[in-house]
Amino acid sequence: MRQHVNPLSSNFHEIERIPSLIEIFGDSKSNLHLDIGCAGGEFLFDLALVNNSWNYLGIEIREKLVKTAKLKVCETEIKNLYFVFGNAINILNDVENKFIIKNLKSISFNFPDPWFKKRHFKRRVIQPEFINNLSNLLQKGSLIFIKTDVKDLFDYMNCTILNNLNFQAIDKKDFNYSGSFNPNKIQTKREKYVIVNELDIFESIYIKI
């Protein structure tokens, strides 16, 4: 399977419409967390089991991973987890899918593809217009979690989010998770690799004000 796909390719212009929350979750009223670039969904399967009072949604651009994850959801009959295939930016910028952003309590971007070359920065999933769209639709108090092992990518994401005045960084030491569930309690697949290989992790949390 290809490790990296170009999200700007015309293959991803057509997008999957996300069914209503009632159609995809057992309890549509539960708090909703979105993981962008969820790969095979290992992190979300763990979260959905550990914290079954929340609903979890994953968006991933590699179709084969999404097909396998969807199959696993069916087999395990988990009612608080759903996967969507495609470029997260196109999916969430689509008017038909606005309701998803409006219903989110939190979003995670865990170890996004770094796209090291400057001419490829536009392929990165965190883009100013996308952050602007999120800031317009997210409820106040919603959280964004970012995590990466690439310092330059962290600086770029941090700067892009903070350039939007509707987001403020929260010091994780001061942050009180009461009423919320901290997704950082669970390690992602990439994070496990990063820890085993003793690489640095750069992370931050932002709140919509």
Q: Is 88 in the site for ligand SAM (CB under 6 A)?
A: yes
Catalytic: 113?
yes
Is the Cβ of residue 54 or residue 111 nearer to ligand SAM in the bound state? 111
Nearest distance in Å: CB 90, ligand SAM: 8
Q: Segment contacting ligand SAM (CB under 6 A): 92-100, 108-116, 134-142, 200-208? A: 108-116
Q: Segment contacting ligand SAM (CB under 6 A): 46-54, 81-89, 127-135, 177-185? A: 81-89
Angle at 158 between CA 179 and CA 15, to 5 degrees: 80
Which member of 15, 18, 37, 157 binds ligand SAM (CB under 6 A)?
A: 37
Say which DSSP state 113 is in: -
Cβ-in-10-Å burial (0-12, 13-18, 19+) of 104 comes to: buried
Phi-psi region of 80 (alpha: psi -120 to 50; beta: other; left: phi over 0): alpha
Q: Is 183 in the site for ligand SAM (CB under 6 A)?
A: no
Cα Rg of the chain (Å, integer): 16
Q: Is 148 in the site for ligand SAM (CB under 6 A)?
A: no
Q: Is 41 in the site for ligand SAM (CB under 6 A)?
A: no
Rounded-to-integer distance, Cα 188 and Cα 85, Å: 19
Rounded-to-integer distance, Cα 14 and Cα 81, Å: 23
Nearest distance in Å: CB 186, ligand SAM: 11
Strand partners, 189: none
Cβ-in-10-Å burial (0-12, 13-18, 19+) of 106 comes to: buried
Q: Is 126 in the site for ligand SAM (CB under 6 A)?
A: no
Rounded-to-integer distance, Cα 111 and Cα 93, Å: 22
Q: Is 167 in the site for ligand SAM (CB under 6 A)?
A: no
Nearest distance in Å: CB 138, ligand SAM: 18
Catalytic residue among 35, 113, 152, 155: 113
Which member of 87, 103, 158, 204 binds ligand SAM (CB under 6 A)?
A: 87
Name the residues that contact ligand SAM, by CB under 6 A: 7, 36-39, 59-62, 87-89, 110-113, 125, 188-191
Q: Which residues are catalytic?
A: 113
